[in-house]
Amino acid sequence: MISKENIYAFAYFCAAYHNFQSLNLPLFIAKRIAQNKQASFSKFVLRLATIATALSVTVMVVAVCVVLGFKTKIRDKMFVFWGHAQVTLFQPDPSNMVGDAPFIKDEGLIQKIRKTEGVTAVYPYVLKAAIIKAEKGLEGLKLKGIEPGYPLESSDAIHFEGQPISFSRESYSNDIILSQATLDRLELSIGNAVIVYFFRADQSAPIVRKLNIVGTYHTGMEEVDKTFAFCDAQLLRSVNGWSNLDISAMQIAVKDYRKAEDIAHHIYKEHLNPPQSIATIKDIYPFIFSWLDFQNVNAALILIIMAVVAAINMATGLLIYILERTSMIGILKTLGMSHSNIQRIFLYQAAMIAIKGIIWGNAIGLALCLIQQYYPILQLDETVYYMKAAPVLIDWPSILLIDLGTFVFCVLLMMLPALIVRSINIVQALRFK
């Protein structure tokens, strides 16, 4: 007995053939079938396939946005404290940062570097190890001596509290800015004074200075917060017995971090003379950036797994859908429709499912990302992840690639179940119930 479905399919075929010869017939039939509201098991399976695709895209969007946000925020924390590259005297091991020997702050060289394409700022500084003594204990730190003009402003990467260093033209400032982690360990607060011990190779007794805590900073990165503090560069020059033009290094900031290595190579080749050298922050902290690069592997695994899950669910749903439409396939074959056109009907169906799942997946994924961005719900252990909440960076090109990749992968995989159309016998199809 011929069902209403088969009669509708025949009517659609005839109408399309006589009145819409220029129309894409497989697409026309696919749309009409999709508009059919009659409940069936295949409809239920296709809804599940749509939901599975939406969930997969949601997971992919959230995973990529979180990984990109995580990498960006960690990089920003490193760059805001050290810049993108450091000009120093040659060091066999770049991770040692700077040595004890100074070099002259050449204003001409600084101006040349600042004018280099892609460079946004150059900050000379002095670096020296010291021991800070408080009532509750001792702490070994490296003091970063900065000059007027160095940015001590809060951002997403670093947070300052208190007052900046008060620089003096006649002498050095006794102000110091410690990390909040150091203050907590020594049970200190802004306004307290600390005794700082400096050691020099040519002196047996340490040089002692009493410094006032005028502010704090916090990056959340243990490698920075537990190791460094800010003070006046003139103070460290005085302790070292250096001239007013001696510095340990120059911190260079660039516009695009991806070009830091090329810019550093250009500066070394065009402007520096041995024993001066230059190293990027990636060379100085290789383990951190290697760890960040490894996050790409995690993201790739999530994308592959979710894409496979979506495709398998869609393939299963489409296979059931084709089997339920066996009678319709038989009628279309009887009327002379080619195997390729019948296959296209179901491929169009798969494309519609994929598009619907991608749209819903994007909507849900972006909504979750925006909620996390403005109302952080997912909290992290800052001692492990360097931040208190999971960061999110909505990168539209990456999202578009996810959508395009999911769509193409799913539709291509749908060609396999669609091939079953070729094996369906017309006589058996017309007898199929």
Per-residue pLDDT of 291-320, as tens digits, reads 888 888 888 888 888 888 887 877 777 777
Predicted local distance difference test score (pLDDT) of residue 6? 53
- Band (pLDDT 50/70/90 cuts) for residue 97 is low
Average pLDDT over residues 226-242: 93
Residue 86 in any domain: the answer is no
| 303 and 186 share one domain | no
In a domain, 267, yes or no: no
pLDDT tens column, 347-395: 787 888 888 899 999 999 999 999 998 988 888 887 777 788 888 999 9
Report the 3 state secondary structure along the chain. CCCHHHHHHHHHHHHHHHHCCCCCHHHHHHHHHHCCCCCCHHHHHHHHHHHHHHHHHHHHHHHHHHHHHHHHHHHHHHHHHHCCEEEEECCCCHHHCCCCCCEECCHHHHHHHHCCCCEEEEEEEEEEEEEEEECCEEEEEEEEEECCCCCCCCCCCCEEEECCCCCCCCCCCCEEEEEHHHHHHHCCCCCCEEEEEECCCCCCCCEEEEEEEEEEEECCCHHHHCCEEEEEHHHHHHHHCCCCCEECEEEEEECCHHHHHHHHHHHHHHCCCCCEEEEEHHHHCHHHHHHHHHHHHHHHHHHHHHHHHHHHHHHHHHHHHHHHCHHHHHHHHHCCCCHHHHHHHHHHHHHHHHHHHHHHHHHHHHHHHHHHHHCCCCECCHHHHCCCECCCCCCHHHHHHHHHHHHHHHHHHHHHHHHHHHHCCHHHHHHCC
- pLDDT band at residue 105, thresholds of 50, 70 and 90? very high
Distance (Å) of CA 329 to CA 49, 273, 301, 332, 369? 22, 78, 39, 5, 44
Q: Are residues 227 and 167 in the same domain?
A: yes
- Verify that 172 and 67 share a domain, yes or no: no
In this predicted structure, the answer to whether residue 1 has a pLDDT above a threshold of 50 is no
365 versus 274: the higher-pLDDT residue is 365
**Mean pLDDT of all residues in 122-136:** 91
The residue that leads in pLDDT, 323 or 213, is 213
For range 101-125, the mean pLDDT = 92
Last residue of a domain, one of 195, 228, 247: 247
Domain that holds residue 214: 100-247
- Do both 71 and 105 map to the same domain? no
Per-residue pLDDT tens for 22-36? 457 777 777 776 666
The residue whose two tokens read 């006649």 is 170
Q: Are residues 63 and 128 in the same domain?
A: no
Residue 42 pLDDT > 70, yes or no? no
Q: Is residue 263 part of a domain?
A: no
Residue range 263-271: average pLDDT? 92
In-domain check, residue 376: yes
In the predicted structure, residue 7 carries a pLDDT above the cut 80: no
Say yes or no to pLDDT of 425 above 60: yes
- Residues 6+ positions from 336 with CB-CB distance below 8 Å: none
**Which pLDDT score, from 0 to 100, does residue 430 have?**
58
* Bond prior to 102 in cis (omega within 30° of 0): no
Binned at pLDDT 50, 70 and 90, residue 283 comes out as confident
How confident is the model at residue 204, as a pLDDT?
A: 76
Q: Which whole number is the average pLDDT over 231-254? A: 92
The band of 230, judged by pLDDT with boundaries at 50, 70 and 90, is very high
**What is the predicted pLDDT for the residue at 428?**
61
Tell me whether residue 91 is in a domain: no
Whether residue 190 has pLDDT greater than 50: yes
Q: What pLDDT score was predicted for residue 41?
A: 65
Structure confidence at residue 33 (pLDDT): 67
pLDDT at 21: 45
Output the pLDDT for position 22: 43
Q: Does residue 104 share a domain with residue 65?
A: no
CA–CA distance, 379 with 367 (Å, rounded to integer) = 18
Q: Any idea of the CA torsion for 351, 356, 362, 365, to the nearest 10 degrees?
A: -120
- Per cent of the chain over pLDDT 90 is 38
To the nearest whole number, what is the mean pLDDT of the chain?
83
- pLDDT exceeds cutoff 90 at 156: no
pLDDT at 10: 54
Number of domains in the chain: 2
What does the pLDDT read at residue 95?
60
Query: Which residue, among 258, 217, 291, has the nearest Cα to 85 in the 3D structure?
Result: 258
Domain membership of residue 357 (yes or no) is yes
Are both 117 and 232 inside the same structural domain? yes
Closest CA to 134 of 210, 238, 223: 210
- The answer to whether residues 106 and 235 belong to one domain is yes
Burial of 116 (0-12, 13-18, 19+ CB in 10 A): middle
Distances (CA, A) of 246 to 91, 104, 126, 233, 235: 18, 5, 8, 10, 12
The pTM for the full model equals: 0.76
411 and 317 assigned to the same domain: yes
Mark whether 151 and 224 lie in a shared domain: yes
Place of tokens 């109408």: 15
pLDDT, tens digit, 9 for 90 and up, residues 327-353: 777 777 777 777 777 777 777 878 888
Q: Are residues 227 and 113 in the same domain?
A: yes
Residue 340 maps to a domain: yes
64 has pLDDT over 50:
yes
Q: Which residue has the tokens 């033009």?
A: 245
Query: Do 393 and 296 reside in the same domain of the chain?
Result: yes
Judge whether 259 lies within some domain: no
